[in-house]
Amino acid sequence: MLVLVGSGEYLHPMETVDRYLLAQLPEVPRVVCLPTAAGSEGSERVAYWSKLGEAHFSHLGVEAEALPVIDQASANDPALAERIRRANFVYLSGGRPNYLLNTLKNSLAWRAIQEVLAAGGILAGCSAGAMILGERIPAFPVWQRAFNLLPGAVVVPHYDEMPPSFAKPMKMFVSRDKTLVGIEGNTALVKDGEAYSVLGQGGVTIWNRQDKARYTQGQSVQWSVNGGLSKDGAYSADG
């Protein structure tokens, strides 16, 4: 299960979503919180996200461990990678997307995260953590290739916070082979196997050259590798 959150990780409005996700695990939840995206912001911010994540999941009745994967050296620490591998729920909190991507790329930590997913676990990413799961992230003046767990997607978190003046610049994210996935605060786009749905208080906007639509909790969304996201198969570039 892949979970992309617009904002609000570890806060009260996301409790209902996280309770649902924890309930999907067939085994006792083993949660690992990674404050990696804040690794360049200093020890205070790393500690803030670490403590907030542990407290949040403790409140939900499960144990969580925040690991200090904050730079390339720690991302390639075999002992930390092994602790990630033992988890069945990994949460990437927010910060700087380019820093997060470059820290995890080709690392032992990312390999361990992939193993958690392959074993049927959950990977959740909020804000920067969600952005790196798409195909590319903006790295002006060029695109930087991300982990591509959602082929064709350019993920835009905090979508409900974007001022109207940003509408025109964001059109550059939309092309024949790219789909903008705008995720609002306290909202998650959830991929469970081949099924996609929206959970939370807000909505998810899917914007490609064929269509632009907003989906809210309970609405199913289908993913087409060639065509992007669409509700009930309404749009698919491959027919």
pLDDT at 62: 97
Residues whose CB falls within 8 Å of the CB of residue 108, separated by 6 or more in sequence, listed in order: 75, 76, 77, 78, 80, 81
Residue type, 24: Q
> Which whole-number Å values give the CA distances from 209 to 8, 45, 127, 169, in the listed order?
29, 39, 24, 15
Domain extent at residue 77 = 2-154+187-200
Q: CATH code at 36?
A: 3.40.50.880
Residue 231 lies in a domain: no
| pTM for this prediction | 0.91
Residue 169 lies in a domain: no
Residue 233 lies in a domain: no
Residue 206 lies in a domain: no
Find out whether 32 and 82 touch, Cβ atoms under 8 Å. no
Identify the DSSP state of 77.
Answer: -
Residue type, 163: P
Cβ neighbours around 195 below 10 Å, total: 12
Residue 140 lies in a domain: yes
pLDDT at 221: 83
Q: Which strand (E) or helix (H) includes residue 78? A: helix 78-85
pLDDT at 235: 30
Residue 211 lies in a domain: no
pLDDT at 217: 94
Find out whether 199 and 187 touch, Cβ atoms under 8 Å. yes
Residue 180 lies in a domain: no
Tokens of 77: 């620490």
d(CA 239, CA 237): 5
d(CA 196, CA 179): 15
Tokens of 104: 């995890």
Beta bridge partners of 155: 181
User: What is the mean pLDDT of each successive set of 10 residues along the chain, which is 239 residues long?
Assistant: 98 98 97 98 97 98 97 98 98 97 98 97 98 87 88 93 74 73 96 92 89 88 57 34
pLDDT at 163: 81
pLDDT at 81: 98
Domain count, the chain: 1
Tokens of 221: 């969304």
pLDDT at 236: 31
Tokens of 174: 């939309």
